[in-house]
Amino acid sequence: MKIFIRLLLYAAIVILPFSCTNIVYIGKRIDPEIILKKEHHNIVFVNLFDYTSPINLKKKDEVSLHNGVMGLLEGLSSISADSAFNLFIGDTLKKGIETGFLTTMLPVDSVNTICKRNKSNLLLALDSMNIYFDWEITSADDNYGYASKTKNFYINTRFFMSLYYVTGDLINRSELDQSTFYRSRSTLSGTISVVPTLDRAREDIGELAYQAGHDYVSKFYPKINQDTQQLFSGKNFRESNRYVFARDWEKAIELLEQLTKDPDPTVAEKARHNLEVVKEASEASKK
C-alpha cells in the first residue's frame, strides 16, 4: 500500500502540451483522516451491536445483519495487506450491551482488557449499524396519454465505528454510508406498493458492507487531489517549459524569475503566472 501511495505521488504531476498554453495537473497530498503513531499496529475488531436483539430489529432480518457485519469485516481485512497492520477478530457479536450505550465511549478498563486479551494495541469497535430502504417515485406517460408511476427502491447501510488506543483514548469516530439501487415496482397511487424486505437483500447488504470496510481502511492513508492549472507557452517560455517537462524545477524557476523582469509587461505577467504554477508543482513533487 505504501509503494502504491508513492507511485501516486510520483505520477501526480502531468503536463500536456497544447497551442498557446499547457495544462498542468498537480497532485496535492491530503493527510490521512486517521493518523497513528509510526509503529506496527495490531487491531482487534469487536462488534458491539446485537443484531439478535428484538429491540434492534426483526428476527427474520438477523441473517441480513449478520451478512452486514461479516461483509464489513471482510472489507476491513484488506488493511492486513500493509505490513504495518494486522487485524484480529475479537468478537463478531458481543451481546448484552444496551441500545442506549451504543453511542457512548467504551470504558478504559474494557478497552484495555479486550486489547490485552487479543495482544493488540488498537481496538476497532462497531458501535451500531442501520440498514433500511428508501425510495423515489417517477412518473411517465405512455403513447395513449395514461400516466404510470414507478417506485425505485434503494438500500442504505450505515456503520458507526470507534477506534481506541489500548490506553482507552479515543482516536476516531466514523460513520460509513453506502447505498445502491435495489429494484423498481409499479404503483397505482404513488404510495401503494410492496416494500422490499431486508431478509431478501442479504447479498446486497454484504456487498455494501464490504465497500464500507474498504472505505474505512482508506482513512489510514493519504489521498491525492488533482488540481488543474494552465502554463503559458510560446517562444518566450519554450526553454523554461522544457525544464518543466524534464521535472527540473530549479532551472525552470530560475528562468521564469528572469522573465518576470522582462520589459514587455505581457511577458512579465505570464512569467509570474507560470512561476507560481511551477513553484506549486515543485512543492507537490516533494511530498
Considering the domain architecture, whether residues 215 and 106 belong to the same structural domain is answered as yes
- Residue 138 domain-assigned (yes or no): no
State pLDDT tens for residues 80-91.
Answer: 999 999 999 999
Considering the domain architecture, whether residues 163 and 262 belong to the same structural domain is answered as no
pLDDT at 95 over 90: no
Considering the domain architecture, whether residues 171 and 82 belong to the same structural domain is answered as yes
State pLDDT tens for residues 141-191.
Answer: 766 667 778 889 999 999 999 999 999 999 999 999 999 999 988 876 655
Sign for the pseudo-dihedral over CA of 276, 15, 250, 6: positive
State pLDDT tens for residues 232-274.
Answer: 988 999 999 988 888 899 999 999 999 999 999 999 999 999 9
Considering the domain architecture, whether residues 159 and 212 belong to the same structural domain is answered as yes
- Residue 260 domain-assigned (yes or no): yes
- Which domain covers residue 243, as residue numbers? 2-31+230-286
Tell me the whole-structure pTM to 2 decimals. Answer: 0.74
Name the amino acid, one letter, at 253. I
- Residue 265 domain-assigned (yes or no): yes
Residues 6+ apart with CB under 8 A from 96: 50
- Residue 145 domain-assigned (yes or no): no
- Residue 36 domain-assigned (yes or no): no
Considering the domain architecture, whether residues 165 and 105 belong to the same structural domain is answered as yes
Strands 122-141, 85-91: parallel, antiparallel or unpaired by DSSP? unpaired
Considering the domain architecture, whether residues 124 and 202 belong to the same structural domain is answered as yes
Distance between CA 154 and CA 132 in Å, rounded? 8
For residue 149, count other CB atoms closer than 10 A to its CB.
Answer: 16
- Residue 76 domain-assigned (yes or no): yes
Q: What is the mean pLDDT of residues 203-227?
A: 93
CATH number, domain containing residue 215: 3.40.50
Where a domain ends, among 200, 221, 242? 221
Q: How far apart are the first and last CA of the chain?
A: 16
Beta carbons of 166 and 150 less than 8 angstroms apart = no
pLDDT at 188: 65
- Residue 147 domain-assigned (yes or no): no
> Which of 7-11, 95-99, 104-108, 214-218 has the weakest average pLDDT?
7-11
Considering the domain architecture, whether residues 217 and 242 belong to the same structural domain is answered as no
Considering the domain architecture, whether residues 178 and 50 belong to the same structural domain is answered as yes
Number of compact structural domains in the chain: 2
* Beta-bridge partners for 164: 123, 170
Considering the domain architecture, whether residues 108 and 234 belong to the same structural domain is answered as no
Q: What is the mean pLDDT of residues 212-231?
A: 90
Name the amino acid, one letter, at 98. E
Considering the domain architecture, whether residues 75 and 205 belong to the same structural domain is answered as yes
Considering the domain architecture, whether residues 124 and 51 belong to the same structural domain is answered as yes
Considering the domain architecture, whether residues 53 and 12 belong to the same structural domain is answered as no
DSSP class per residue in 37-72: -SS-EEEEEEE---TT-TTTS-GGGHHHHHHHHHHH
